[in-house]
Amino acid sequence: MKKKNNCKFLKCYSYINALDYYFDFTWNVLFYFSKNIIAEDYPPNFTWQFSEHIEFKNNNVNVTEKGKELLKQNKAWIQILDSNGYEIYEFYKPEVAPNHYSPATIVHHHMYSDSIYGYTIFVVGYSESDISYIVGFPNTVISKHTFEYDSTTPVFIAKVILMVLVISFFCILSYGGVYIWK
């Protein structure tokens, strides 16, 4: 009798472990592509946080030495623009980057990778004054892609994925239940 109970316990334990592995695998697959979103060195986050390395002295704008080192480490460049879109400071800016941006061109360059040849840019309005700054990264580091869709499509896809997961869960549950109580 004791041996039979041990077998049931081992079967149940194996079944629970299988379910645990299934959910771990599903979780990892679903969130694989967002693994670096929170990291400080992720280019959009790096750009937002870079404002702490911009300093103003005697009506001049500059980037701190630490900021310059961070730009070098990330293979990035910066342009600081006045309120009219004219460059007032640059560091490592490629020759193909313009010295002036109209509102339409800055939106275009921000939205599409490689519109400034070989670079993806991120634009931030500096909160302490009326300047903006652009940080550019090589396309080998990060790239942007426009994805257009019907607003009902993601809901449909989410429902299908959820349905597949629920059906899979119940299939595993029923198979495990049959297996355990044989």
Question: What's the whole-model pTM score?
Answer: 0.64
Greater confidence, 2 or 43? 43
Instruction: Please write the tens of the pLDDT for every residue from 92-150.
Output: 999 999 999 999 999 899 888 888 989 999 999 876 778 999 999 999 888 888 766 66
Between 6-10, 53-57, 164-168, the lowest mean confidence (pLDDT) is in 6-10
Q: Which residue has the tokens 């109580």?
A: 181
Query: Quick check: 180 pLDDT over 60?
Result: no
> pLDDT value at position 82?
93
pLDDT band for position 38 (cuts 50, 70, 90):
low
Q: Output the CA torsion sign for 51, 52, 55, 56.
A: positive
Mean residue pLDDT across the chain: 79
Q: Cα dist. 13→7, 25, 168, 176, 177 in Å?
A: 10, 18, 19, 11, 12
Greater confidence, 76 or 115? 76
Determine phi and psi for 14, rounding to 5 degrees. Answer: -65, -40
Domains and CATH numbers, the chain: 2-35+147-180 (no CATH), 43-138 (3.30.450)
Query: Quick check: 65 pLDDT over 70?
Result: yes
